[in-house]
Amino acid sequence: MEDISLVLLRDYLVKVGSKLADEVITTPLATILDQMELYTGPKENRLLRNVAAMMFCENQNKFFPYTQIDVVTFPNGKMKDPNNFTEVTFKGSVPQMIKQTMDYIKSNVLKEHVRKVSGRQEAERFWNYPYDAIEEAVVNSVYHRDFLQHEPIEITIEPSGISILNCPGPDRSISKEDIAKGDMLKSRRYRNRRLGDFLKELDLTEGRSTGVPTIQAKLAENGSPRAIFETTDDRLTFLVTIPIHEGCSDSSEESIETVGFGSEKTSNSSEKTSNSSEKILELIKQNPKISAAGIAMEIGISSRGVEKQIKKLREAGIIKRNGADKGGYWEIVNLDND
């Protein structure tokens, strides 16, 4: 009982418009928690539910170790410059972690871009990442994590995109085909259902398997590439990759400069394309099953840029695909053609 924060409890009750907010100071805490149905067990051995600690304990690591969000930023990309990174950790109650993480990303990562389009009076405006899509992904990573696993949520920020790694993966009732499609992940079993109820009351989630469609819809509205969802065969982890808007990527900026500044930029662009191809081939050597999204995160360009490079390598007869798009692997056929 002494671990429950009256400040966090009242703050929640005020936000959801509960009449109990005015009674927190004058009414015994046990009575308030009882009215919120936060007790379980018989009268002679009543225990607070886990969700009480998740929502209203400032130090929930006391009960659920490593319940935290680690945000790691690689300004030059993890593959290019692995030793150059910054890391910040957010702890506290579930609402505190979500708010602190989103405040940090909003202040340090999100940027609006304005691009003049030839022949059009109005400029094109877009964000490198839409806030709502990132928030939905962050909230869902907390909502669906296994609080018994002592693993933090890890958010990696690179020039090509943001990835959110969570433990464990989706329930096995969701097929790998549906995960790969990235349209809707409808589970027959929900983790932390009561936590989800609290988050819905705070308007942080809608539930009903709407998280993935919301992410994809917000990205589409911003003109961004679709998010990519991946899990391992044993469902130990779940990786969400949100690519940067192509108007903000290095490859996109190069193409714009090429049109405006002539052959010198074209030469630079060709040189960078060659370097990208070499890095892609090296990654395929190391891991023939690596995905385009995985390559993009490693070398710091957009997923679509990687797909274009792969297409060129296939057409040149340098690599080929064995098996299906999902579950297959890459094979380097002839490097002499490069």
Taking only the tens place, the pLDDT of each residue in 149-177 is: 899 999 999 999 999 999 888 877 777 78
DSSP letter for 245, please. P
3-state secondary structure at position 292 = helix
pLDDT at res. 242:
95
pLDDT at res. 7:
93
pLDDT at res. 209:
59
Domain layout of the chain by residue ranges: 6-48, 69-243, 250-337
Q: Can you list the residues of the chain whose pLDDT is less than 70?
A: 117, 119-121, 186-189, 206-209, 249-274, 300-304, 325-326, 335-338
As given in the structure block, the two tokens for residue 70 are 């680690």
pLDDT at res. 265:
38
If one looks up domain 250-337 in CATH, what number appears? 1.10.10.10
* 69-243 and 250-337 in the same fold: no
What DSSP string describes 261-272? Answer: H-HHHHHHHHHH
Phi and psi at residue 59, in whole multiples of 5°? Answer: -130, 65
- Neighbouring-strand partners of residue 114: 125
pLDDT at res. 336:
59
What is the tens place of the pLDDT at every residue in 65-111? Answer: 999 999 999 999 998 898 999 999 999 999 999 999 999 999 999 99
As given in the structure block, the two tokens for residue 215 are 């992410």
- Rounded-to-integer distance, Cα 33 and Cα 31, Å: 5
- Rounded-to-integer distance, Cα 236 and Cα 172, Å: 11
pLDDT at res. 41:
85
- Longest Cα–Cα distance of the chain, Å, equals 82
CATH class as words, domain 69-243 = alpha beta
